[in-house]
Amino acid sequence: MPPQITYAVDIQEGAVEQLRLGLEKSETSGIVPICADLKELWEGAPLGQLDLVTCNPPYKVNNAGFQSVITAQKIARHEILCTIDDVCAAAQKLLKFGGRLCVCNRPERLSDVIFAKC
């Protein structure tokens, strides 16, 4: 059986670097940090090969609710660079037949997740 690999994808280089440092300090293996845009994925992405895609997407639609003055927080919390439709489209490209997408989101976004376009 081939080794299991976890691809940890984020568009923000700072978040990816934090993960890299954490992995080094904890001597954890099997996790591959990747800085990429879900709308384009990355070169060598395992298209049609994954059993599971999990995602903690931005919780709020752009320009909804309080927005942080810190750009990194704004991007993480609001759909500025990535929408739920983008998440679903990327998962569709990555998952093999019968694969699953698990999304962590707020209850008020449930209908958006259910009706997301891929």
User: Where do the DSSP E strands lie in the chain?
Assistant: 6-10, 31-35, 50-55, 95-103
Q: Using alpha carbons only, how large is the chain's radius of gyration in Å?
A: 15
- Sole residue written with tokens 């568009």: 11
β-strands 50-55, 95-103 pairing? parallel
Of all residues in the chain, the percent with pLDDT exceeding 70 is: 98
pLDDT digits (tens, 9 = 90+) for 16-55: 999 999 999 999 989 999 999 999 999 999 999 999 999 9
7 CB-contact burial (10 Å; exposed 0-12 / middle 13-18 / buried 19+)? middle
Q: Which of 70-74, 85-89, 91-95 has the lowest mean pLDDT?
A: 70-74
Of 32-36, 53-57, 65-69, 110-114, the range with the highest mean pLDDT is: 32-36
What pLDDT, on the 0 to 100 scale, is given for residue 1?
A: 60
Could you tell me if 30 and 4 are in contact, meaning their C-beta atoms sit under 8 angstroms apart? yes
Cα 75 from chain centroid (whole Å):
12
What domains does the chain contain, in order, with CATH numbers?
A: 6-114 (3.40.50.150)
> What pTM was estimated for this model as a whole?
0.86
- Sole residue written with tokens 């699953």: 100
